[in-house]
Amino acid sequence: MYAIVDIETTGGYADNHRMTEIAIYHHDGMQITDRFQTLINPGRRVPDFITGLTGITNEMVMQAPSFEEIASEIHGWLKDRVFVAHNAHFDYSFIKKEFDDAGIQWSPRKLCTVRLGRKIIPGLDSYSLGRLAESLGIRISDRHRAGGDAEATAKIFDLYLRCDTEGIIAKALKRSSGETTLPPNLPKEEFDKLPAKAGVYYFHDAHGNVIYVGKAINIKKRIAGHFSGDAREWNRSNIRNEIHSIHYELTGNELIALILESQEIRKIWPKYNLAQKYKVEEWGIFEYEDQRGYLRFVVNVVTKNSKPLITFSSKSDAWSFLWEKVKEAELCPKLSGLQTAKGPCYAHQSGTCKGACAGAEPSDVYNQRMQQSIDSFFGEGETVAIIGRGRKSEERSLILVEKGNYLGFGFFSEDIAITDFESAKNYIQVSKDNRVVQNLVNSYLMNPRGTEIIAF
């Protein structure tokens, strides 16, 4: 028993938009047996562009019932039936949210007629509802209205049932199939081949263009998380509908995945990596002189025109670095922004601070140690190799840092010993350094995890 559904809405994602219309067709596996359709008052204005697309106006929905008022009736039409829709995730996400808000439990099995069409009737130019219906000789009487689109979807599904000689629908209905959570245009076979390993992954559109780059410790698990019902940020865009294929690069470990992801985003500029295109949060250590003449440190977010002494990818890494410098130069934690208590710092009370916070140490004496500490930020820096897990069991990864600057990464066989810096360069691809990558490396070196650090 199936409920074939179409909805109209005020916008593209369930978190911030509402339904304006719903139509439900019942199908018993042999034929259409009943239908239901109603406008719904969304409790907000219908945008002009939606009216232009659907013909649904504010006046039309003003007198219509709210979803809450008819939630029980709609639930009765859907209860104990397989939920079927064209691009099912979209319709399901709206209805599920409305039921959740109304306190109604609803967790149906689902079928997507886009995904089914690609398997039952392969080779068509397009599986959009309009183009698919046209290809199958099905006329849509009222396009972009719930009733007309649901009727067309029901006729398409009826055709699927008659053409499904390989049991594709039955396989898709198995709870473990994962068919209904995947983007409509992504072959399940391609998803099934994804590795549960660290690396960088790329989403491609129908033309092969990269539209998103991401990194993961477990590629398959991370990508599955994008497509789950809980991944709200992925429900807010058209990215699901645009994903036609995925490829990936294994990196062996998270640090190289982070570096490669950052480099690829800035090389390709994928349309859906907006957050990293325009804003990468950096934390910096800054210096200033207070009214008493003492040089002081502060950790803060790096803004466009600010000039930090050194930057990190997180506040905690900046603090960890600064604590080490404070201890090394016997500086005052309070004057370094690491303690905010009134009066002398805790270190002065324990005897490890020389008393600048209490005025017991002259500013010129204190500032001399401060300047020495600041100078150490800009020293030649360490030349090290960071050796970690490779892409396969007999391989190791290698990141080189030369005089404090990131140089590049690569891979080498585990039976090779890294003994000197010059020979180590043979195993990496030297790449252009940038602040984002340098921040990642700086932060990692403050708290190396599961790697071997070789200093040269």
Q: What would the mean pLDDT of 175-183 be, rounded to a whole number?
A: 68
**Residue 233's closest CA among 268, 273, 270?**
273
**Residue 331's closest CA among 311, 315, 312, 345?**
345
pLDDT digits (tens, 9 = 90+) for 397-414: 999 988 878 899 999 998
- Parallel, antiparallel, or unpaired for β 210-216 and 199-204? antiparallel
**In the predicted model, is pLDDT for residue 232 greater than 60?**
no
Distance from C-alpha of 184 to C-alpha of 313, rounded to nearest angstrom: 36
Domain ranges within the chain, ordered by starting residue: 2-179, 188-278, 283-377, 384-455
**Residue 272's closest CA among 251, 243, 229, 230?**
243
Q: Same CATH topology for 2-179 and 188-278?
A: no
- What is the C-alpha radius of gyration for the chain, rounded to an integer number of angstroms? 30
pLDDT digits (tens, 9 = 90+) for 84-120: 999 888 899 899 999 998 999 998 999 999 999 999 9
Residue carrying structure tokens 């005020």: 10
| DSSP-assigned states of every residue in 133-144 | HHHTT---SSTT
In CATH terms, the superfamily for domain 188-278 is GIY-YIG endonuclease (3.40.1440.10)
Q: How confident is the model at residue 247 (pLDDT cuts 50, 70, 90)?
A: very high
pLDDT digits (tens, 9 = 90+) for 274-326: 755 545 568 889 999 999 999 999 999 988 788 888 888 788 888 988 998 99
Helix axis angle, 435-446 to 254-268, nearest 10°: 170
The pLDDT mean for the chain works out to 88
Q: Which CATH class is domain 2-179?
A: alpha beta
pLDDT digits (tens, 9 = 90+) for 340-394: 877 888 888 778 889 999 889 999 999 999 999 988 876 556 788 999 999 998 9
**Residue 323's closest CA among 338, 334, 313, 312?**
338
First to last CA, the chain: 70
Yes or no: say if 395 and 415 are a contact pair by the CB < 8 Å rule.
no
pLDDT score at 278: 47
